[in-house]
Chains A and B, each alone.
Chain A
């Protein structure tokens, strides 16, 4: 009997049911189960076939009372938290940028990635030393290049960034649409991120 109530409490905690409400429901349930037992009855007399599925029973009860912050079946929330938008944009830009760089690099066998020379630092700013097969763009070439431009072989770095971007987007999607961890657990309510209990 107590295992059933304990399992219900765990489910209510997982669903974000406020503690006072969960305590009230647990107390009512315990009292009813004890009364049935004292009269020689079984949990089924109180709970019907729900006696065999405490988690489902607890979720149904909490949802019926409107005290759960779990996702509702009416439809997905349109609310997107700002950090999720920023993260998605960053990962998308990284992935597309690295993918383009890899494509360009393939067509020319190597690519030079230029960066502005750091003021006050003698010599060119290098991430990787130029080596065989790497193209280094010397001198100012465009409006955003200053003196002493060095090269960087983008093949390993571009590939790494591209892979990080793809994996990151995949993990982000899994997190975002996860019913347990993602932002869809919450509902927009007056511009605030709040559970939907009444």
Chain B
């Protein structure tokens, strides 16, 4: 039970650190409104259930000028706010992916070292 709680907490913290990057990445598929991005994330294997909402992250991305927004009618529904990558957002995505890969490789290396010592 304790391990499950710790694992969920760690997953939540890890996701919180890269959720903005993931949102920028799914926007690369084309403009999307809030819930549409949630569905794109889910389709890529990332569920936010149990995690925080994406709306504050979208708000921050908009405030930082990394996304552009416009209103348009959705499929038979009310007008929605669509988010798309701005030029600054594309650069931020590119840099963020490099940072993530570097961090992931470093952590992989550290974890691999631990495994080698504990499990010969």
A interface list, Cβ under 8 A from B: 24-25, 27-29, 31-32, 34-36, 44-50, 57, 60-66, 198
* Residue interface mask B66-85, A partner, CB < 8 A = 1: 00000000100110110000
Check if A49 sits within 8 Å of B78, measured CB to CB: no
Contacts A46-B35, A64-B57, A65-B63; A24 near B49 (Cβ below 8 A): no
The answer to whether A48 and B48 have CB atoms under 8 Å apart is yes
Is B2 close to A, CB under 8 A? Answer: no
Question: Which of A45, A50, A65 contacts B59, CB < 8 Å?
Answer: A65
CA distance A57 to B56 in the complex (A): 8
- CB of A48 within 8 A of CB of B49, answer yes
A165–B9 Cα distance when bound, in Å, is 51
Q: Which residues of A contact B63 (CB under 8 A)?
A: 64-66, 198
Point out which of A36, A57, A60, A198 has the most chain B C-beta atoms below 10 A from its C-beta.
A60
Most buried by A among B33, B55, B77: B55
B53 near A61: Cβ-Cβ < 8 Å? yes
If over half of A's interface residues share one DSSP class (helix, strand or loop), that class is named, otherwise mixed; here it is: helix
- B11 adjacent to chain A (CB < 8 Å): no
Please count how many residues in chain B sit with their CB below 8 Å of the partner chain's CB atoms.
24
12 A–B contact pairs at CB < 8 A? A35-B77, A36-B35, A44-B50, A46-B53, A48-B50, A48-B52, A49-B50, A60-B56, A62-B59, A64-B55, A64-B59, A198-B63
Q: Which listed residue (A28, A48, A66) contacts B33, Cβ 8 A?
A: A28
CB of B43, distance to nearest CB on chain A (Å): 13
**A32 in contact with B35 (CB, 8 Å):** yes
CA distance A61 to B55 in the complex (A): 6
Chain B residues, CB < 8 A from A35: 35, 77
For B77, the chain A residues whose CB sits under 8 A away are: 31, 34-35
Chain A residue nearest to B12 (CB atoms) is A49
| CB contact between B56 and one of A36, A63, A198 (< 8 Å): that residue | A63
A29, A32, A45 interface centre (most CB from chain B within 10 Å): A32
Closest to A198 in B: B63
State A60–B19 Cα separation when bound (angstroms).
15
Contact of B34 among A28, A44, A60, A65 (CB under 8 A): A28
Extra 5 A-B pairs, beta carbons < 8 Å, given A25-B55, A61-B59: A35-B35, A46-B35, A48-B51, A49-B51, A64-B58
Interchain nearest-CB distance for B59 vs A (Å): 4
> Which 4 pairs from chain A and chain B are nearest by CB?
A64-B59, A32-B35, A65-B59, A64-B56
Closest partner residue, chain A, to B61 (CB atom): A64
Please state if B78 and A61 are interface contacts (CB–CB under 8 Å): no
- Chain A contacts of B52 at CB under 8 A? 48-50, 60
